[in-house]
């Protein structure tokens, strides 16, 4: 086969591979996106669990401190009945008032922590439930993707082997051109002339250019879309 025939054959193989990937649909993308989302959610769950543990420890510490304050206040209040001077009474009241202010702050802080604990607990329940749902969905989609890959694996491997053989017969500059055009034209770099027009963009082919394409002596590109053109005649040999 000459260069043009090799490129036509390469395009046929690549189109067949594209058809196989199309059969898989957007499942690979969905699996990747779901895997990423699950990973991010699992990190969020781990962080929330860690914070919940910290909050619970801080609440216990606060409760212990509050109880110590209450015990101290009660003790000082009992001492009020034993003092003999106003000065001693005032000193005790000053200390009691200070302890009550500190107790109010600590109780407020405990309330804030308790609210955070409730929020974290609720969020963790939601996230864990969502993670379980996504895990089941991911398992289903992975299984479906595996089935589709299995169905086409033999054909895909055969096409890949044929592709490697064809590529070896195409020089690097023309192979690079093929890949460049294919990348820019939705996977189709080589098209036939159809009704005197490019089979890709449907632009009219000038008569002189059509004659060159018909002869098949050299590789010709469409002036509009730059796809490689050929004259469809006998089937290209495998």
In sign, the C-alpha dihedral spanning 162, 163, 168, 171 is positive
Residue 75 has pLDDT above 90, yes or no: yes
Domain ranges of the chain: 3-167, 172-230
Instruction: Tell me the percentage of the chain whose pLDDT exceeds 70.
Output: 97
Whole-prediction pTM: 0.59
Residue 22 makes CB contacts below 8 A (sequence gap 6+) with: none
* Mean predicted lDDT score pLDDT of the chain: 92
pLDDT tens column, 20-66:
888 777 888 888 999 999 999 999 999 999 999 999 999 999 999 99
Residue 217 has pLDDT above 90, yes or no: no
pLDDT tens column, 85-95:
999 999 999 99
* Edge-to-edge strand ranges of the sheet holding 228-230: 197-198, 190-194, 228-230, 220-221
In CATH, the architecture of 3-167 is Orthogonal Bundle (1.10)
pLDDT tens column, 108-143:
999 999 999 999 999 999 999 999 999 999 999 889
CA–CA gap between residue 232 and residue 237 (Å, rounded)? 13
With tokens 């594209």, the residue in question is 18
pLDDT value at residue 238: 46
pLDDT value at residue 191: 96
Instruction: Tell me the percentage of the chain whose pLDDT exceeds 90.
Output: 77
Residue 9 has pLDDT above 90, yes or no: yes
- Span 182-188, average pLDDT: 95
Q: Residue 237 — very low, low, confident or very high, per pLDDT cuts 50/70/90?
A: very low
**Exposure pattern of 84-113 as b/e (b: 16+ CB <10 Å)?**
eeeeeeeebeeebeebeeebeebeeebeeb
HSE toward the beta carbon, residue 215, CA cutoff 13 A = 10
CA–CA gap between residue 4 and residue 232 (Å, rounded)? 12
Low-confidence winner among 110-124, 137-151, 198-212 (lowest mean pLDDT): 137-151
- Residue 31, classed as helix, strand or coil, is helix
More confident site: 89 or 235: 89
């Amino acid at each position: 086969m000459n260069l043009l025939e090799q490129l036509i054959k390469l395009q046929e193989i690549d189109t067949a591979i594209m058809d196989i990937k199309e059969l898989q649909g957007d499942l690979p993308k969905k699996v990747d996106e779901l895997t990423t989302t699950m990973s991010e959610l699992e990190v969020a769950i781990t962080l929330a669990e860690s914070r919940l543990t910290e909050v619970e420890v801080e609440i216990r510490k606060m409760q212990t401190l509050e109880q110590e304050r209450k015990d101290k206040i009660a003790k000082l209040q009992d001492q009020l009945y034993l003092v003999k001077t106003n000065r001693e009474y005032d000193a005790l009241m000053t200390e009691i008032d200070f302890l009550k202010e500190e107790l109010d702050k600590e109780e407020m802080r405990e309330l804030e922590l308790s609210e955070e604990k409730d929020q974290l607990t609720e969020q963790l329940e939601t996230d864990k439930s969502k993670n379980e749902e996504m895990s089941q969905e991911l398992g289903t989609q992975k299984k479906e993707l595996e089935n589709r890959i299995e169905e086409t694996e033999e054909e895909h491997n055969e096409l890949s082997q044929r592709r490697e053989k064809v590529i070896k017969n195409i020089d690097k500059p023309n192979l690079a051109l093929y890949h460049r055009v294919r990348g820019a034209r939705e996977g189709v770099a080589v098209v036939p002339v159809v009704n005197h027009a490019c089979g890709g963009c449907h632009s009219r082919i000038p008569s002189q250019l059509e004659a060159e394409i018909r002869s098949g002596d050299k590789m010709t590109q469409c002036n509009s879309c730059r796809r490689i053109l050929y004259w469809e005649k006998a089937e290209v040999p495998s």
